[in-house]
Structure 1
């Protein structure tokens, strides 16, 4: 089964994720091939299996879907017939019941926890209306201010790896470049046309008077919450964005000014460009914030060209530090959220989590760490609003299969398992276990253990790994580097329990 899953993942990963998949149009049996492969790309195997018809048409089909596949214009079409046959053979439990994904956040009812974060993906009426129509629960509208915004061109860059178009993303974008009146009209119309959706108005002022005015105006046009942008890392003027979030006194001052202008729930959006996010977060809550939004993007420099020495994005031969986002920042976001949740003053404060959410598994990690609401940008920029299908379906199926009846039941469930360094068990070792039947004798584990570990692996006559338990420290580097997942965690034993030629516990 494990190797089947690997084959499915790798072949599905070759898909171009087309806007209008020709493979779906070509199927004589009405199978939505593009939708199935898209679900597989977003870790939604249950949803993909649900899309397959009960009758196995693929086995004896001449696969016109493959002939239509646009990937064939580059190299070889996605092997859809083999992919679907493998999926048919894979045991996947498909729940019949869907779970209600609604959740209350800061006293506001949300039909699901998935929101667009304050960025280009939620910056005008038409964009947000499309997202709402597709099933997003809400939006943190792109930050509204009284500033005159002039954006640079280009303003995006990406960090890619092994076939992924980007795992990390850099932007030097600032705030909304629509006029103040246009933005107020966008919010007014969105609330009129989508009364059941949640609108978070993100704002940024230059002084207390502006913060108060902005908050009052957002409430007047129908916003459900206010988000204070204390964290944009690339503002052109001093004393704005992340410079506020790095200063607890300014955070408190401007939060109080916002509180003065509105009765709506107020979120303080935190910058990760500090060591201890809980300090400004507590200042915000003490000054009247009802919740925290975290994290914003991380200051970064990316992709220096080795010929021209120019960084990206290049604006007439120059660049600046910009905001880093995408899948690669998720561990950093979860770390900050954990630290805030562990602070007694913030333990019960609602958190809207963001930073690297791409699929339902990523979203679940933020919920398990204590977030009650989720915001997404970079994945939408890469794949479109349609990712909401797999976000909702994947989360619902997980909850149903695990016996949960609502999202709130899982919020914060992982927190007790994150402990301080002195509390870790350091008196036992969990040795790796080699699955010899799955091993392809590539020797990657040997290379990594010898050159980057503890020289605890040798290769036998078949070039398969053999463990020296006297040298192995149980670091699990070998498990991480194995390209075919032929190494697994074994049983845990007390240090010193095995000596010499003793066998590992099975």
Structure 2
């Protein structure tokens, strides 16, 4: 009974420990050619419908007594193997979803893209072999790692992460600079990619140190076969003066360098914006007025993280020292969405094409960026964490979502969420949505009581006999802290009551 009652929670916990192996031994061990690694990966990336669709029919796992997949699971070398049999049993109770024909192609800056998923300008797209592999797997384009006239000298190490409760990292810091290949090498990479993959979109990210360099780089990227030029006005940790986020914070310099770039190309230009600023619309407007075609946002956020309390050094630890670096990953998604909303809500920018990035891991994350007005999506940190293979669930999950919602083309959801984000003074304030307790699901753990009493409005008490929560209606303000903290989803939004006198 409980495994089905709590199946969504059970599945999340069971798959959370998966090591997401390359060439997974669990799938290699299955005598029935079931691929549990692919199914579990879909569950991890919020593509449950896709996971169910991958189940064979009939289901051999139900009659398999030896469980060779669990025997082969590398997690068993740490503590316990992933409960593959239990995962399969739970999701096999779900019905398969028929996928209607859905078009993921979308036009961006006047260029047709087979889907909106691009690699963003970083190490994940920094040479021919890497990008070619990504293209073969289904990525529609790449913003190639930023190219300059100089090759920076890098440090080691240059990456670190922020984790919680031994789960996958939620935040990532890097102090890496632009491409460590020469200008000539990068131009050759772009030429080969465009020759071998003519239908894929090449965005050449550039960074100059003066007007002449911006113009020259734009000319060279155009000659190399790029489809779009991206001006990197936003890297937060460049060592040279007058580059990176120093540029993006100054609308006058943004104007100057955008005009210089436009002198060197007739291609669409994206101005990549820095989030290390209070109002992104100011430099974004300057870029558009100076000749940019669209905006890319957001780049990484200036950060310091993981101070060692024994040595007082911070990470990445370079001989006991570090520097302010760029913060990315799932944790920055709300910040990225906020900046994108502000730009789409600005009259001077509302029609500007936006390439959105910042914390996209799953198809659901991607759909949120599209719903807030983006027409293109760029991804780095999730690829660094999980590999190019995430494109499978990005596309499959997106298609299944669109199909179930009755959409035929991905462009139909672009901007759909914008009307529902309003100024605070426009929100309904004459009613309360009270919480509702699911008595069957409630375990009696008291988490809702603790949070409400210590961090809310003391509107919950515990029934001494059942050990389950009871709402004190005249104290409840409908804040939904209890809904948020319940570990088993037993507290839900309930009835909305008008409070206007």
Normalising by structure 1, what TM-score?
0.97
**Structure 2 matches for 1:69-468, cutoff 5 A?**
69-90=73-94, 92-460=95-463, 461-468=465-472
On the 8 A contact 2:101/2:408 being kept in 1, the answer is no
Q: How many residues align?
A: 496
2:72 to 50, 68, 71: 68
- Superposed CA deviations along residues 188-218 of structure 1, whole A, max 9, x for unmatched, are 0000111010000000001110000000100
On the 8 A contact 2:53/2:96 being kept in 1, the answer is no
Gaps of 5+ in 1: 498-506
Give me the whole-angstrom Cα distance separating, in 1, the residues matched to 2:150 and 2:430: 58
Gaps of 5+ in 2: none
2:316 is paired with a residue whose SS is coil
Question: Mean Cα displacement is larger for which, 156-165 or 248-257?
Answer: 156-165
Give me the whole-angstrom Cα distance separating, in 2, the residues matched to 1:428 and 1:77: 49
On the 8 A contact 1:301/1:311 being kept in 2, the answer is yes
Question: Mean Cα displacement is larger for which, 53-62 or 237-246?
Answer: 53-62
- Cα distance, 1:162 vs structure 2: 2.1
1:316 is paired with a residue whose SS is coil
CA RMSD, 1 decimal: 0.9
Give me the whole-angstrom Cα distance separating, in 2, the residues matched to 1:77 and 1:334: 37
On the 8 A contact 2:122/2:144 being kept in 1, the answer is yes
- Cα distance, 1:462 vs structure 2: 1.4
Aligned residue in 2 for 1:58:
61
Question: Mean Cα displacement is larger for which, 222-231 or 8-17?
Answer: 8-17
- Cα distance, 1:237 vs structure 2: 1.0
- Superposed CA deviations along residues 10-35 of structure 1, whole A, max 9, x for unmatched, are 10111110001111111111111111
Give me the whole-angstrom Cα distance separating, in 2, the residues matched to 1:319 and 1:295: 23
On the 8 A contact 1:435/1:488 being kept in 2, the answer is yes
On the 8 A contact 1:98/1:397 being kept in 2, the answer is no
**Structure 2 residue 480 is the aligned partner of structure 1 residue 481:** no
- Cα distance, 1:75 vs structure 2: 0.7
Give me the whole-angstrom Cα distance separating, in 2, the residues matched to 1:93 and 1:414: 29
On the 8 A contact 1:101/1:396 being kept in 2, the answer is yes
Aligned residue in 2 for 1:503:
none
- Cα distance, 1:496 vs structure 2: 6.4
- Superposed CA deviations along residues 120-158 of structure 1, whole A, max 9, x for unmatched, are 000000100000010000000000001231011100010
1:89 is paired with a residue whose SS is coil
On the 8 A contact 1:142/1:202 being kept in 2, the answer is yes
Give me the whole-angstrom Cα distance separating, in 1, the residues matched to 2:410 and 2:167: 30
- Superposed CA deviations along residues 311-365 of structure 1, whole A, max 9, x for unmatched, are 1001111110000000000000000000000001110110000000001000000
Aligned residue in 2 for 1:502:
none
Aligned residue in 2 for 1:500:
none
On the 8 A contact 1:354/1:375 being kept in 2, the answer is yes
Give me the whole-angstrom Cα distance separating, in 2, the residues matched to 1:160 and 1:253: 40
Normalising by structure 2, what TM-score?
0.98
